[in-house]
A and B are shown apart, each in its own frame.
Chain A
Amino acid sequence: MSHTDIHAYLAEFDDIPGTRVFTAKRARQGYHLNQFAMSLMKAENRERFKADERAYLDDWAISEEAKLAVLARDYNALLDMGGNIYFLSKLFSTDGIAFAEAVSTMTDMSWPEYRQMMLEGGRSPEGVRSIREGR
C-alpha cells in the first residue's frame, strides 16, 4: 500500500494556472453557496429566485460578497469563495444559458471567441500545466 503525503498532494494543486481544485477547504468555505445553488434544482425554487433574486439569497447563510457575486454572475469570484462548477451550473440552467457560454465568462474570451477556440480543437495545455515549471 503506497502512502500519499496529503500536504504535498494538496500543495501541488496551487501550481496549476487558472484552476481552482475543489478541495475540502473550498468545500467548507462554499458549503452554503453550493447548497443555495443546489436548491435551484426544483422548479418552484427557480421561480421564486427569478421573481426576487435578492430576497431568495437572503434566506441563505452566505456572505454579502457571495450574494453580490451571484447577482453579478461573477463565476470566477464564486469559485474563489468555494463555489463548485457543478453546483453553480444550476444557476446557468436557471438563466437558460448554455454550459459552455457560462464557462466562457470565466476566461478572457467572449462567448463567440471561446466557441471558435473549441471548434478549432480547444485550449492547448502548452504553457498552462505548471506555474513553477513554466510548461
Chain B
Amino acid sequence: MARITAGVGSSHVPLLGVAHDQGKERDDYFGPIFAGYDWTREWEKREKPDVVILVYNDHASAFDMKIIPTFAIGCGERYAPADEGWGPRKVPDVIGHPDLAWHIAQSLVLDEFDMTIINEMDVDHGLTVPLSMMFGACEQWPTTVIPLAVNVVTYPPPSGNRCWALGEAIARAVESFPEDLNVQIWGTGGMSHQLQGARAGLINPEWDNRFLDLLEADNDAVRHIPHIEYLRETGSEGIEMVMWLIMRGALGPRVKTLHRHYHVPCSNTAIGHIVLAPD
C-alpha cells in the first residue's frame, strides 16, 4: 500500500534557482538561506521517497490566460523545465508517475474534486526550485514527481478550507493505491511577499511564523484564514501559502515537526521551510 510519510513546505523563489545554478549557494547573501535546507537534504537522502506530490503554482509558463485550471494534476510521463524568458534552467527533466497520478486523479473526481488532467506541460521555477532546494545538484532527480498546479494568480484562488480538504482527499487516494510506495507531499510558495505596486516589498515575519505555528498545531484552524487576511498581512503574492494547506491537510489531524527554518530576505520574499510527519 502506498503511504504519505512526510510533508514539506517551502518557498520557491526563482532567484534560489539562479543561486543554485550559478554556484552561489554559500555566499554571504544566499548562505543563510541554503543553510536552512542542509538538514532536509540529508534527511531526503535517508528517506528516499518514491514519489513526491508537488503542489505549486505555474507563473504564466505552462498556463497563460487562455486556460486557468483551479486544481490541475500532471499525469504525464515527463516534464521539461520551462523557458521563463531567459532560457530553461539546466536541471534534469522531471519524471512523472502516471500510474499513481491517474489513480489519484480518478479517486479525486469520484471524491467530488473535479480535477483538470494534464498530460503534457513544461514546469517552471515553482516546481524545479523546490527540487533543487531539497536534492541539490544531480544528474537526475532521485524521485518521481506528480505535479499538482493550483491557480493562485487569477482571483479567486481556492479557499484555504478547500485546499485542506483536497489534501485529505489526496491522502485517501494514496492509501488506496495497492503498490508499496513511499510518498511525500510538498506545498510550495510564499511566504510573505508582494511583487507589485507601491506596497511592494512587504514582509511580515510575525504573521509568517504564526502560520508555521498553526501548521504544527493539532487542529485545523489554519484552513479558515480568509484570502483577505493573506493579502493584507502577507502581501499580494503571500496568497501562495494556501498551497501549503493541501500538504498539511494530507498529513492527518496530528503532526510532528522534524525541521523548521525562516529567513528574510530572498529577493522580494520571506523564505519559509518546514518538514512535518504524520503523528
Which A residues fall within an 8 A CB radius of B?
2, 4, 9-10, 12-13, 16-24, 27, 31, 34-35, 37-38, 40-43, 46, 75-76, 79, 84-87, 89-90, 92-94, 96, 98-100, 103-104, 106-108, 114, 117-119, 121-125, 128-130
- Cα distance A34–B228 when bound, in Å? 24
Indicate if the CB atoms of A100 and B268 lie closer than 8 Å. Answer: yes
The contact sample of 9 A-B pairs, CB cut-off 8 A, is A2-B161, A18-B197, A23-B155, A43-B87, A84-B153, A99-B14, A122-B202, A123-B201, A125-B233
CB distance A121 to B203 under 8 Å?
A: yes
B198–A108 CB distance below 8 A: yes
CB < 8 Å A-B pair total: 160
Known: A35-B64, A123-B202. A85 touches B196 (CB 8 A): yes
Question: Is B267 touching A17 in the complex (CB atoms < 8 A)?
Answer: no
Verify A34–B155 contact, CB threshold 8 A.
no
A100 touches B267 (CB 8 A): yes
Question: If A24-B155, A27-B154, A41-B83 touch, does A86 touch B59 (CB 8 Å cutoff)?
Answer: yes
Q: Contact: A90 with B60, CB < 8 Å?
A: yes
Q: Are B201 and A117 in contact (CB under 8 A)?
A: yes
Residues of B within 8 A of A18 (CB): 197-200
The B176-203 residues at the A interface (CB cut-off 8 A) are 192, 194-203
- B residues with a Cβ closer than 8 A to A are 14-15, 59-61, 64-66, 82-87, 153-156, 159, 161, 192, 194-205, 207, 227-228, 231-237, 264-265, 267-268, 270
